[in-house]
Amino acid sequence: MGLLDDRVVLISGGTQGVGAAVARAATAQGATVAVTGRRPEPGEALVAAGHAARYVPCDVADVTSARAAVAAVIAEFGRVDHLVNAAGLTTRGSLLDTTPELFDAHIAVNLRGPFFLMQAVVADLRRRGAPGSIVNVITSSELGGQPYLAGYVAAKAGLAGLTRNAAHAHRWDRIRINGLDIGWTDTEGEDDIQRRFHDAGDDWRELAAKRLPMGKLGQVDEIAEFVVFLLSDRSGVVTGSVIDWDQNVFGGLD
């Protein structure tokens, strides 16, 4: 038996990177998976490959679109048992050069979207009197982060706080809500960011790996397996935890 047999899982930002890896892992563990994203091609490719049951067009920055995505999954599959908030915006900006527009974009994608997706899924779980679980993919940068990620850090720190707040509020509903503070991870989005903002070449992954304790960037498939574990009953009663999924020890000093 799979860890997520007969479960319906909705993954925001599920068409690439960590989200797509979670879709593959959850499907392999027996789940019916719906993925959201703004671009249909990668979403439909996941469906065609058998790694998802449904692609739902969605811009999480648009609350109406986010709510409609949850409604579409419920209409087709009858319910949502688990939510993974994996959509994210990492556009660079420091405290001094972040515009109001960029700040608002970070809040919209990295905080407001997850908030209202959680609201819609928790409402469905409570309506049915059913248990469920949510995992928010956050970032280790929410603990302080780099100077060029000011807006991103502000929004993701808010998501970490929201994770704890919602977990506390809904523990008696048997809805478990946890987060992962992931570190530097090898994704398509990170490749684009490194090339656009840091003048990185084709060897940036190899150069980065040499600077990391374990000699490699975080891998999406490894993160996905951990997310599936947290979604599943195998993780027991754990709720309200924001787990450092990283190779650096925060608070440790050399």
What pLDDT, on a 0 to 100 scale, did the predictor assign at position 5? 98
Strand 218-219, strand 132-137: pairing: unpaired
User: Domain extents for the chain?
Assistant: 8-245
Distance CA 212, CA 108 (A): 31
Confidence of residue 141 (pLDDT cuts 50, 70, 90): very high
Could you list the active site residues? 152
CATH code for the part of the protein at 8-245: 3.40.50.720
Distance CA 158, CA 162 (A): 6
Asked whether the whole model's pTM tops 0.85, one would answer: yes
**C-alpha dist (Å) from residue 192 to 89, 167, 189, 214:** 12, 34, 5, 23
Average pLDDT, rounded, for the chain: 95
Which residue type, as a one-letter code, is found at position 15?
A: T
Which residue type, as a one-letter code, is found at position 122?
A: V
Confidence of residue 254 (pLDDT cuts 50, 70, 90): confident
- Beta carbons of 41 and 16 less than 8 angstroms apart: no
Alpha-carbon torsion, ordered 38, 39, 42, 46, to 10 deg: 50
Q: State residue 149 phi and psi, 5-degree precision.
A: -125, 35
What pLDDT, on a 0 to 100 scale, did the predictor assign at position 161? 98
Confidence of residue 196 (pLDDT cuts 50, 70, 90): confident
